[in-house]
Every structure is written in structure tokens, then in C-alpha cells.
Structure 1
Amino acid sequence: MGLNAPNANYFCLYCNCDAASRWDMDQVWTNTGNSKCTKKLALFPAIDQNNYIPDELHLLLRISDTLMECFFNDLTKKKEFEKQIKPNIEAAFKDLGVRFEFFKSTSSKWNWTSLMGTDKKKMLEKFPVAQFITGIRGENIEVLWREFYRLYKVLRQSQLTDQEIYQFKVDAENWVRAFCRPSQGFINSSLNFGHYRKADVTPYMHVFAKHIPLFMHQLKSKGLSLRIFSTSSIEKKNHSQVRLFFGGTTMGGGNKERTVVYDIMSFENRKLFYLISNTPKEITSRNINADNKENLSHSFNDPGQ
């Protein structure tokens, strides 16, 4: 769309909100486009601004990434993290049926397993956050996780009334307010500890609260919904190709002198040819034993089918 990166001061694809105001849910923004961060001409100028639909899958992935990072950053600072907290967190994920572990990077900083969408849904719905952060703050952060998952399920519904969309808008804005709620009270008295900083509110959270409701109304008027435009099937295809060809990453790979893209496209073209030509998905070879005259048949499946 010809704009700067999401970490620019004017970060949003859909409005002129600046980075310092992302947390402010009292400001009103509409899908008028970003006129303050234009870097180049739009790649597809014929596409109307309102037809750039946000992807619900990446909202889930990136916002849950932020929740995980804020949560783990609180814990990795504690001296008992490696011996006590770390194994307990890994065990809690295992109880959910999710493969997860912490590991140290080359800079000795703690990193963790990157989860797929399905595992992140399990985490948001069931992970016992309050077990690892004591007091009311831990309970409130666990509510943040559960509420975000509930809102995500709402935005994926195929049919919503205008009232339901309005309620989603109110709840999403309140969720962002709760996310960056400051500490309340006085020192040496009853103090209600806050959750996270205003600076921790991300561009995805801004879009989630301020623009998703507008797109929900827009799509409803056309008999459409956000889930129709999800890239989940594309992401699943990409994940399958990576696992099939490389078992890891598409970066720096390829067979011999062929590029990664060449290998994948050749594989996809072969599958399309099989489909169009009605080619069988398996072949049967017959081995004839000259001694006992018995025919042995073996079936071989195409690994790409």
C-alpha cells in the first residue's frame, strides 16, 4: 500500500493514528486511509482502501504473541525461573496437549517455542495464568487471555447483528483499556497493580478495537464476514510445504541448484496435473515368482496426494 513499516510513527493502514496514541480508546478513527506515512505509490492503486480486509488469523497470532511475551517477561526475571517456574510452565502446556519448551538464544536470552494457531487457541482458553502470577493481578491477566479468545470467536462468526457488532466494539476497546491499565492506589496502602504499559499496546490491538468493527459492519452489508477472508488455509498450505520439503524453514534451501520456490511450484503443478488428468493416486506393481507362480501385488501411494 506504499506505507512505511508497522513500527513507524504513523503505523496504521487505515487511519492517521500515531504510535503514542495506540492505547487511547477514547479517540475515534475511521477507515479513511493513512495520509501521513506514504513512502511509495501503492502497488495496486485500483484496489479500494476498504477492500484491504484485516486477516483474523494474524490478529490471533500476533496479539497472542504479545500476551505471551508480556507474561513470560514477568517470569524470566525471577531468580527461581529456570529451576522451578520453567518446568512447571512446560508441564502446564503438556497437560493441554501442546508441545512447548523454553530455550536460550546465543545471547543467553530466554526464548520459547513458536505455537501454531490451534495451539494458541488452546493456550488462550485453558492455560492457568493465575497459577504463575500470584494475587489479583494474575487473576486479571488470566481474564485478559480468556476475554481475548472470546472476542476472537465472536469476530469469526459468519452472521452477526448490528447490536452484536456494536457490543464487540465496546468489549474490544475495554479489553485494550484493561490490557494497559496502570496501577491504582497509593504507596504503603492497598495498591491494585496494573497489567502492562501503554507502550505495549501494538498496532494489531489498535486494528482489533478500532477498525475490525467497521469492517464487520461493511462486510455485513454485503452478506459477507471476516472469516471468509481468513488466510488460515494459505498458512496451513505453507506450513505443510515447509514440513514436506525441509522439515524446518524455507530460507536458504532448495535441492541442488533449484530454488525453494521452484521445488514447491513443481510439486504443486504435478498435483494439479494428476487432478486434471484423473491420474490414479496409487500404482500397483506385480512381482511374479517363477518358482511358485504366485503373483504378489504392492501398492505405492504418491506422497503428494
Structure 2
Amino acid sequence: METNDAPLSVKKKRPIEIYNYPKESIIQYSNSEQSYTYNIIKEGTYPPAAYLKYTKGQKGFRIPDNYEVETSLRKPKTRQIVKCIIKYVEKKPVYWVYYGDKFQYHVKSEKSSSDVACLYAKALNPETKTRYSGPHFFGLHLEILQQTRDIYRRATVLKSFDNLTQTGQNNRAKKIAKSISAIFDQETTKCCHLDDDSNLKSIEFSIRDNSFHFSFNEDNVEIKHKARAAVQACDKGQVTREGYRTLALISQDLPREWKVSAEKKDITYEMNEIIPISLINITPSPSDNSVNSEIHINDAEIIDNLQQSIGKGGRRDIVNILRYLIPGLLERNVLDITNPTIHLRISGDGRNVGRKVKQVMVTCSILNDLDNIYRPENYYTIILYSGIEKYEILNVVLEPLIMELRKLKEEGFRDNQNREWKVELYFSSDWKFLAICLGLNAANSKYFCPWYEVSKEKQGDFLYEWTINKTIDQIRENYTFYKGYVRPAIFDMIPLQNWVPDELHIMLHITDVLWRLVIDELKSRNTWGDRARNVIVEEMKRVDVKFHFWLEVGSTNWQYTSLMGQDKLIVLQHFDLTKLFPNSRATQIRNLWDNFYLLHKAMKDQKTDANQFSDDARAWLHQFLDSNYFYQAGDITPYMHVLVYHVPEMMRIHQKFDGGVGKGRKSAIVNILEYENRVLYFNNHNMVDLIRLPKRLRIK
């Protein structure tokens, strides 16, 4: 019998997922062929699209990372429970299946979920031909899990760094830093001994163009030491606040500028309590409209500050400075408590600040500290004022210092440990300052010598032995007793044999004379013209000295650069005189210059024999006056007289001491004295030595 009825079609059962996920971790799945029960241990996440992998097949399910599930395989006769895990290793998924009563066995595959499922089946029965669907075995097809992961991914997807707020950027960087710190702690427990005391100090990394530096475990003492070391470095290098702020912007290793400024204030306050700074009101000196030919300080801010400080000065007590220094000097064996005598030198000098402003500084130094006598930080400013070197002003400004020096000489002083110290006083400066303080006429007067009553006419006479024949006691009693004195001596408590010539100014002034005589000789030879001036400028360039000529306004006189100390020594040693004179004459002048340079070196050498120096100095003066040199007795200057006759004598008296002077320091009056106080602090507390820099290594 035929029938028109069409054959019945068998409909496949639609897949069903039964769940209350994520409140409950159980998901039941079934279709027409099989059923599974999944217990979700770790939901996992989809990795970045750059290396997200998919299962094979038409649907191609996404493969999550850090995914863990217990799968129950429902069979008519048996029930199997396995634990399935997926993790990405080097951006590729790896599959594990654990089985057994306690999941004590496992199989692993790097190929696919289906491959590891088959490995599991063969592990149970090597002869089996059963094949499992990998996606179903692992539950990769479950829509609820895919949806949940997508929701989570949308909620937690990271914004690009540029789209974050400043706070968001900082928080992300902090999170990274904390993770690195945690990893460091984990690794050091494995790689370091318990006694190694390993600490993560800092890390630095960048995101986009933003650099981050994080410090860890940095205690307040370490931060304070670093900030004070920065103050020390800024003071030593004269780095301004703005300059340091710029440096701190470049390097995260440096303490922040606000912290450095705070420590600087603390040190200044601390030292001002120990060594107070007193202000002095000075009757302004008559206006001095002269232009400074040689500028020592040319900082606009300093010039402005000092212009406003004219008529004012500052001072510090010597005793306060000594009391602060003594513990360190005893520790370095500079002073000896069994021989409690301090040899204290007073020095003074003027400085040109810009083209109009002048500054006068009086310093003291401890001659016992022979190894550091040339270091500028060992010259301690005790008087500072804006103005000129003039007897009337100095007599007023130095009055408190004079009283203190008298007391020191007569009574000594007691330190902070109540130990008694004697003080031997000395004085050293350039000729102008020395003559003012002694009440002498100017250096070009007929009777010019502070130590011997000799007239200018006789200073080139080698028949005389010009040794000290004056006394400070006689000058104090009656200053007109000796010719050339026009006022009472200011420092009349210092013995005249302790007024020591200053080797630096001897070198500077005699070098000036030797150079001036070269110019004068060129003029006398009628070779002084553009060609000679150009040769001199080019030769100065060769020896790396800045030098130029210029015509005075409304005059035919040529002026030239006044050289500084180091430049003068370079010219003295290296200027090629054959560019200006015939070879024979150039050789004569060069020998004269070289011999003077040797005398200069000998003056600075503590081992120099005074008698040998006397012979060499006299021989040099004979050479200077040789008729072949065209130099006459009238060309001899007071500094040459001192070099030949009084330097050897002072060497015999003070062989263990020298007469150098320290450098001036740049700042306004109170700032300079506060700076000086900080120098004293850092002499006793070298903060730089407390800083331990990390070893810098590179990992490729």
C-alpha cells in the first residue's frame, strides 16, 4: 500500500545549559548525544587579541587563560570526573587533564583540547577508540562563560595610558611598582642568605613618554643625609636655588629642591646659633666713582645685593670659630693638647664686584694646619663690608676685632671643654692692605718698607743687608718714630716679624712688572704697533689665555686685559717671546722669567732652604739689573725688595708657615657669612662621604 505520508524526520535535541551562574559554580549541559556537568573553579580570562587562540572548527571557540574546571562525563554505566586546566605559556595555550580519585594523575598537551582529551582516554584504556570533543571536554563552548568573560573584560579593559587622568597614571605606575617589589621579595628569599639584608631601594621605568621613579625602604636619616650632601655640593659649586631645581628635574636621584632648601635653612640656623653673625653700621665712605679695571665678581644679583649693602658690614667672633674647629683639629692631630698653641693668621683684601662696587674681606686661618693651608674653605671670614680699603673705615669696622685680638694675645681663651689655649698672631695681605693697617705711606713713597727703614734710592744697593730693624712696640708708642708712618698701626698687637709677606701677591705684582717692561721695551724699539699687538693676542690664544687690547676713549693710549693669577703663571711659563724679539733678546728675557718662576715655586715649598733661596733671589735681582737687560734700579718695586731681602728672613723665622691668602667668595654680606658658617659645618660633617652610591649594572 502506498501512502502519501512523508517519512518522519528525527529532530536533534537543542543544546541546553542549566545554571545559576555566577552565583553557583555548577553548569549542566546536554544535547542529543551527550551531557556534561561542569564545576567552574576558575573562570579564566581571554588574553589580549594579539595572541588570543581559537579552537579548530567552524565555530572556533576562544580559548581562555588561567581557566580551571571539573568536568563530569555522564555515561549510561559510568561516571567520570576530571579536572581540566588551560594556561598560556609564552603566549600559547597548554592543556592539562587531571584524573583519579584525588586527581593524582594527569596528561598534558600543547596541541589542542581535543588532543589532551584523547590522551586521557588512552591513559584509561590504550586500546580504546573513544574520542572526545575537546571544547565540550573543557566546556569551551559554554555560552554563559563566554558572556561572563566578555562582561568582565569590558568592565576591566585597560584604557591606554594617555587616556588616563594624572591620578590614574600614577595609580597604574604604583601598581606596577608594588608588583615588582613583591617579585623582588620572593626572589631574594630564594637567592639571598638571611643575613644579606637585601632591600629594594628604587626602580625606574617608563610608560609611553612618562618616566617613573619609586623609592622603597628609604628612612628619614638617609633622606636627610642626601639633602645635606646636596647643600654641601651647592655651596661648594655656588649652585643657585634655580640651578639646583633644574638639575633635580633632570635626575630623580637628586633630593627635591624644597627638601634641600629646608635642610640649608636648618644648617644655617644651627650654625648661626653656634657662631652668631653681627651686623656693623658703617658711615658710608666718600663716593668712589672710579671704574674697576679688574673685576673679581661679575654676578648681577650679587652686585645688586652689595650695592644695597653699602654702609653695612658683618662680623663673626674668632673665638666662636676656634671653639667649633678645635675638636676636629684635635682629631686630625693638627693641634696638640700638650702644646696648646694656635698660630692664627689674619688676612685682608679688597674685591671688585662688577665695575663700580667694591668689597673688603678680613679672614683668619689656622697655620697649624699646614697640609690644608691653601684650601679656600680653611680661610674663615671674620669681617666683611661693602666699600673701599681706607684707613678711616677700617679703623671703625675692625674695632671689635682689634679688641678680640688683644684679649686673645694677652689671655688666650678656653674651648668648650674648658681647655686653655694660647694664640700666636700673624698678619698677611697684599701691600696696599698691609700698608693701611700699619699706618704706612703708599708703596710708591720714599720710605715704603714695613720692616726696614730703607729709602727707594738704596733698595738696589747690594752692599746693604736689609733685615728687620723695626718693632711694633715702638710703632705703638710713637708711630712717627720711623720714617714713612703717617698713622697709628691698626693691628699693633701683632709683632712686626709676624707680618708675613704674601707669596701670591708677590708673584702677581712682579709678573705684572715683567710684562709691563716687555711692553715698554717694544715701545722703546719702535716695534709697538698693530703687528705687535696682533702677535701678542694670537700668542695668548695659543696658550689659552683671554687677552685683548683697546684704546682709551679720547686717547691714543692702548689698554690691555689685566690677567688673573693662573693666567699670569701660564704667560710666565709658556709665552713665546721669540714672536716679539730677536732670539738672543728673547732668550735673555725668558731666562729672567723662568728664574722668577722657580723662585715662586720655592716660596710655596715648605722644604725650601732659606739661605739657598736668599742666594737665588739675589742672583735673580742681579740678573734683572744686568745692563744687557736695559732694566734699571728705578724699575725695582717694593715687591721685588721683599722677595730678595725679607722673604728669606721670614723663611728663617717662620719656616713651617707660608703666607698665601684664600680666595674671595661670591655672595652678599650676610649670605656670605652664613655660607661661611655652613662651610665650617661641612668641614666637621662631610655629608658626601655618608652617601653610598649603588653599583650600576646593565642587563641586556
TM-score by shorter chain over 0.5: yes
Could you tell me how far 1:123 is from its partner in structure 2? Answer: 1.0
The residue number in structure 2 matching 1:267 is 671
Partner of 2:196: none
Tell me which amino acid in the other structure corresponds to 1:21: K
Task: Tell me, in whole angstroms, the C-alpha distance in 2 between the residues paired with 1:200 and 1:70.
Answer: 9
Supply the distance in 1 between the matched residues of 2:676 and 2:503 (Cα, whole angstroms): 29
2: distance between equivalents of 1:169 and 1:8? 25
Distance in 1, matches of 2:466 and 2:524, equals 37
Cα deviation 1:106-155 (Å, max 9, x = unaligned): 33212211111111111111111233121533311111111100110011
Q: Does the CA contact (< 8 Å) of 1:76 and 1:110 recur in 2?
A: no
Structure 2: how far apart are the matches of 1:213 and 1:95? 36
**8 A Cα contact 2:588 2:629, kept in partner:** no
Report whether the alignment pairs 1:153 with 2:590.
Answer: no
Residue 180 (structure 1) aligns with:
625
- Of 458, 483, 493, which aligns to 1:21? 458
Residue identity in the other structure for 1:32: N
Other-structure match for 1:254: none
CA-to-partner distance for each residue in 1:234-261, whole Å, 9 max, x for gaps? xx325xx2xxxxxxxxxxxxxxxxxxxx
Structure 2 Cα separation of the partners of residues 138 and 272 of structure 1 = 46
Q: Work out the CA distance in 2 between the residues paired with 1:194 and 1:151.
A: 19
The residue aligned with 1:84 is 531
Residue 114 of structure 1, aligned match among 545, 557, 562: 562
Aligned counterpart, 2:611: 166
Q: Which residue of 647, 661, 667 maps to 1:212?
A: 647
Alignment of 1:7-156 (within 5 A): 7-33=444-470, 35-76=482-523, 81-106=528-553, 107-156=555-604
Runs of 5+ consecutive residues of structure 2 not aligned to the other structure: 1-437, 472-481, 689-700
1:272 to partner: Cα distance:
4.8
Letter in 2 for 1:204: Y
Match of 2:634 in 1: 199
How much does 1:57 deviate? 0.5
Amino acid at match of 2:619: N
Change over 3 Å in CA distance of 1:145–1:274 after alignment to 2: closer
The answer on whether the counterparts of 1:144 and 1:179 sit within 8 Å (CA) in structure 2 is yes
Deviation at 1:89, TM superposition (A): 1.0
SS where residue 550 of structure 2 aligns? Answer: strand
CA distance in structure 2 between the partners assigned to 1:272 and 1:176 by the alignment: 41
Q: Which runs of 5+ in 1 are unaligned?
A: 183-192, 242-262, 282-305
CA RMSD between the two structures: 2.3
Matched, 1:3 2:3: no
Native 8 Å contact 1:148 1:175 kept in 2: yes
Give CA deviations for 1:279-300 in whole Å, capped at 9, x if unaligned.
x99xxxxxxxxxxxxxxxxxxx
1:83 and 1:156 mapped to 2: Cα distance?
A: 38
* CA gap 1:16/1:155 in 2 versus in 1, 3 angstroms: same
CA distance in 2, matches of 1:267, 1:76: 47
1:230 aligns with 2:660: yes
- Distance in 2, Cα, partners of 1:273 & 1:67: 40
Report how far residue 79 of structure 1 moved: 5.3
How far is 1:178 from its partner? 1.4
Q: Number of residues paired by the alignment?
A: 236
Q: Aligned AA for 2:469?
A: T
Deviation at 1:269, TM superposition (A): 3.7
Query: Per the alignment, in what secondary structure is the counterpart of residue 230 of structure 1?
Result: coil
The CA distance in 2 between the partners of 1:7 and 1:80, in whole Å, is 29
* Compared CA separation, residues 130 and 175, structure 1 to 2 (3 A): farther
SS of match in other structure, 2:529: helix
Q: How far is 1:56 from its partner?
A: 0.4
Deviation at 1:39, TM superposition (A): 1.4
Give the deviation of 1:266 after TM superposition. 2.5
Describe the SS at the equivalent of 1:38. Answer: coil
Q: 1:121 to 1:272 in 2, by over 3 A?
A: closer
Deviation at 1:83, TM superposition (A): 2.7
CA–CA separation in structure 2 for the residues paired with 1:273 and 1:153: 32
Say whether the 8 Å CA contact 1:23–1:177 is kept in structure 2: no
Change (3 A) 1:26 1:136: farther
- Counterpart residue identity of residue 540, structure 2: F
Q: How far did residue 12 of structure 1 move?
A: 0.5
The structure-2 alpha-carbon separation of the partners of 1:273 and 1:143, relative to structure 1 and needing over 3 Å to count, comes to closer
Change (3 A) 1:134 1:44: same
Change (3 A) 1:216 1:273: closer
Using the alignment, how far apart are the partners of 1:204 and 1:272 within structure 2? 31
User: Which has the higher mean CA deviation after the structures are superposed, 108-117 or 48-57?
Assistant: 108-117
The structure showing larger relative contact order (alpha-carbon pairs under 8 Å, at least 6 residues apart) is 1
Q: What is the aligned partner in structure 2 of residue 190 from structure 1?
A: none
Secondary structure of residue in 2 paired with 1:81: coil
d(CA) in 1 for partners of 2:588 and 2:625? 12
TM-score by length of 2: 0.32
| 1:273 Cα deviation after fit | 6.4
Check 1:129–1:80 CA distance in 2 against 1; reply closer, same or farther (3 A cut): closer
Amino acid at match of 2:668: I
Contact 2:549 2:558 in 1 (8 A): yes
* 8 Å contact from structure 1 (residues 178, 195) kept in 2: no
TM-fit CA distance, 1:219 = 0.9
Q: Identify which range, 167-176 or 207-216, moves more after superposition.
A: 167-176
Partner of 2:111: none
Shift of 1:274: 5.8
Q: Is the 8 A contact 1:125 1:149 kept in 2?
A: yes
> Counterparts of 2:527 and 2:466 in 1: how far apart (Å)?
44
Counterpart contact for 1:2–1:38, Cα < 8 Å: yes
